[in-house]
Amino acid sequence: MNEELLRKHLRVIPDYPKKGIMFQDVSTLFKDAECLKELKNELVRLYADKGITKVVGVESRGFVLGSILAAELGAGFVMARKPGKLPANTIRAKYRKEYGFDSIEVHADAINEDDVLLLHDDLLATGGSMQAVYDLCSHFHPKKIYINFIFELNMEGLEGLKNLGPDKDVTVLMKISE
């Protein structure tokens, strides 16, 4: 994987969404065809032989590569969304993130016990949103759950991998340090 290419296209926005946060904007990776292809190819390489039946993309940047990856793997795609965004019956989990609290939902009929899941999001910070998605998906008792992030923020006080725990199968493509 061409980390130099990806790092060159990652945009950092200071004080967003609130003062003191250095927001890592992956939209600049998605708008570049070469970066998008690089990310897709690496993710397909990592998960092609895992028997993935559904990819769960976490709102909203997890939808971009999550849906591409689902198509490439011949899997279905499930959206994990903020409350009120999914039209049918949902289940919900509340979580803490680095700058407040939020909730996430999935459709109550989105996953079943025969599924092998890949949960995908762009960025691992505290791990709060992914832990909530993991908990929601575990509710369905799938065969296996994999977790993937494009980037991990390797900064003091976040400890996302540690917060997710050693019992989860987590892959991070790149680490970002202060």
State phi, psi for 128 to the nearest 5 degrees: -60, -50
Catalytic residue among 61, 81, 105, 152: 61
CB atoms within 10 A of CB 177: 8
Q: Give which of 2, 121, 127 is closest to 63, Cα–Cα.
A: 121
Catalytic residue among 59, 72, 96, 98: 98
DSSP-based three-state secondary structure for 28:
helix
Catalytic residue status for 98: yes
**b vs e for 46-82, b when ≥16 Cβ sit within 10 Å of the residue's Cβ?**
bbeeeebbbbbbbbebbbbbbebbbebbebbbbbbbe
Catalytic residue status for 4: no
CB 122 within 8 A of CB 89: no
Give the DSSP letter string of 48-76.
TTTT--EEEEETTTHHHHHHHHHHHHT-E
Rounded Cα gap, residues 168 and 159, in angstroms: 15
Catalytic residue IDs: 61, 98
